[in-house]
Amino acid sequence: MNAVIAAVGVMLILSLSRVHVVIALIVGALVGGLTGGLGIDATLKAFNSGLGGGATVALSYALLGAFAVAIAKSGLAHALADKALAMVDRQHSTGGGSVKWLLIGLLWVVAIASQNILPIHIAFIPLLVPPLLYVLTKLQLDRRLIACVMTFGLITPYMFLPVGFGNIFLNEILLANVARSGVDISGVNVTHAMGIPALGMVFGLAMAFISYRKKRVYDLTKIEQVEQVVVQYNPMSLMIAGVAIAAAFIVQLLLDSMIIGALAGFLIFSVSGIVKWRETDDLFTEGMKMMAMIGFIMIAASGFAEVMKATGQVQTLVESSASWINHSKGVGALLMLLVGLLVTMGIGSSFSTVPILAAIFVPLCMQLGFSPLAIVCIVGTAGALGDAGSPASDSTLGPTSGLNIDGQHHHIWDTVVPTFLHYNLPLLAFGWVAAMVL
């Protein structure tokens, strides 16, 4: 059996069986390495060498957690939550319908903006979602819907709009690797190429609103135990919090570092006195604990991905699928998309998957007679497939980090499975149609 299929299969089966994702990733990596002929020593060496790749992201999450706790202490996010809660109470007779749509729209817009207008990616989630969780729970909103809304905003913009992270994915990675593999992309409009797959994401989001339209009851007391529902704040603390957030974002954009950005914001809170010096250590530890699970998953995912690369069987998987195609464009497009789904779910990053796939997919597409526009679509969609629905992707880990602070939102069953069903399946179908018509 191919090592990639074995590793990803074991990882997904264990995750769906409610084994912790970190353990599932480690066991999956061991199975993949042994199946790929690396042996136990070489597998562990590859896994250990890959751990450092996730350290930067893990530290970023830890500092963002501390920054989020400092913001909570200032009362800024809770001031927003209090306004929303007051609106809910006023509209209690109608179920707070307009407030529900206002909050969903807010999270949707911020998620989209985090990819281009203010490219902070998932950094907004631990800052904005936990304080609003009490209001969302009072409205009995199904958190699976919120996870789907945020995941849509984290993925669709970069795979369709060539701005911010989209510029990196579409122009610097997708088009560059397709051109490097021998395709003339001079007349290719990348937005046109990815338009139909992006409609698949829109279709999936619409289906999520239908799937999770019913109310879902959560325990309010569990939120009160971990998230302060009543917070004292004044205009000065709110102003300082606004300055700290602005500083964190500006520093991150200038230095391209979430670590330094979060640290700058946290220091402003400390210097201003909102966070007392004697409380700094406890508050910092509390924030790091809040984000610890995501950090460890990202570190383990980097080790898992390194083992997959070390086996050399990602390329073998792609090449073996070519033998099944038998000069059929329809079968070829479908197999290439399915391989992309499998590889991305294992690695957890669309940005890392495209260079791997393009080197082999592009010559195969040229041999089958696909147009340059269709080739860009196939490779781009194959790379994006699996970002939603991967246990190790930050597009699923980010929403879970905000929605599970009270332990009532399971990463696999409440984020990974819903986003897989509502985004990967439509993206697979719409991507195949696009490959046939472009």
- Residue ranges of domains in the chain: 3-437
d(CA 355, CA 344): 12
Looking at residue 240, its pLDDT comes to 82
Looking at residue 78, its pLDDT comes to 64
396-402-407 Cα angle (round to 5): 95
d(CA 48, CA 142): 38
Q: Which one-letter amino acid corresponds to residue 378?
A: I
Q: How many CB atoms lie within 10 A of CB 179?
A: 17
d(CA 306, CA 414): 28
Instruction: Give me the chain's average pLDDT, please.
Output: 82
pLDDT band (50, 70, 90) for residue 154? very high
Q: CA dihedral defined by 365, 371, 373, 377, rounded to 10 degrees?
A: -30
d(CA 415, CA 389): 8
19-20-22 Cα angle (round to 5): 130
pLDDT band (50, 70, 90) for residue 346? confident
The DSSP letter of residue 140 is: T
Q: Would you say 106 and 151 are in contact if contact means Cβ atoms under 8 Å apart?
A: no
Looking at the predicted structure, is the pLDDT value of residue 291 above 80?
no
Single pTM value for the model: 0.78
Q: Would you say 147 and 400 are in contact if contact means Cβ atoms under 8 Å apart?
A: yes
The DSSP letter of residue 312 is: T
Looking at residue 236, its pLDDT comes to 80
Give me the residue label for tokens 């051109």. 179
